[in-house]
Structure 1
């Protein structure tokens, strides 16, 4: 009994140590975004760099005000919100429909499709950047939200997650709906979606984080600076002279906060262990 307590204490100490280690850069970023460039330089490498200057509270948001006055940061923020919303909702619809078809419908060559999905999961999206860009360019979709969104809407990994979850839903539930005269579309909207919130939230969060942080693809698709999302706009801060470190940290903080909020409020809904049957 004593040995298990010691092991449990060691485990928690290790977890806390790793948590602190990973949190340090984020804390430094938040704190630096509230200070002047002189304060950041003076306190660099000391414990003070992780502690806000409470005596100067009234000036904490000065770097943010200067950031928004120098750059069209509100426009870039709304661009990210718009692009991410389109990608998340489109991806959830397309991937869930594909996953449901593979899990519950008689699809021709189903085994071949499933095997292809597993192969596609291995290949990163970056490996076909050039080919996809040429297709988007031929369709005249550059500088448009659909040019940005279309390559991200269908994802082999997300289809596979939906398929695995839907396979756990009892077939008797669907068969009873068929007996009552429900169509496949009605079954999907009225039965499958309401009992599949964990997988929708899990995939939605993954898609949100990926699209919100995406940098290379938006940079390739958009040639007009006012259409850039936040991930690209933040890089502009490092290229526009003079570069103010506190403003860069403010931009990174604004980019990070939505992801933290999504994770904090959504983590308890992510694929809970008690959904093995697909129904709570």
Structure 2
């Protein structure tokens, strides 16, 4: 088995795009993050590695700084080779995320001390069941960017405190430029919940973030706005509408199942201790 480190996204795409797009559910994060790099290039270039056996691509490993490696397409028998390769080309990577078996194998093989920062379950939408909730939803505009930036920062600090610092307003603004769908649920004109969904890629859309400020929780607003962006994704032609839910939050997991999401797989994110 050989590892090839790609110096540019074009050469990586040439040998992996069809492979990744053939399984858009498992490769959801890779597809959306690479699409963002492709259309909004900025910051540090991604780390792009493919694994080959007898001249055939059998897997890949990517990282879009400042985020961890993505191991969804990493074969288990390539883990040791992957660790040796990243120690040479990207030793400052902060961790790894992916389906639990793969990300755990990778984290263990590094020999580093690590902590499990996020445990999630991947869901796919079956039949959408919009809830009956007070208020109404609307798609956002540029005028909402400051509010969404503040809410994104609050969401990140609560859900993933280890996440690297980014300008949350610029992240939202970039997401809107990519054509992603953002919606607000409102009560008498006051925003009470927010959800976003990516523009379909390879027939796949992923919902997230979903955020309800603490003072507006337990009224169903998060479920309502999630259902709204899920319908938006279907209207955009998505065949697979996905989302991740934090397994330490049983309420959100039950809410998503009530509006039609079905569990698929458990994922885990590990960050190295320093």
Same fold (TM over 0.5): no
Higher helix content, 1 or 2: 1
Task: Please tell me the TM-score bracket, short chain as reference.
Answer: under 0.3
Structure with higher RCO (Cα < 8 A, 6+ apart): 1
TM-score, normalization by structure 2: 0.22
The structure richer in strand per residue is 2
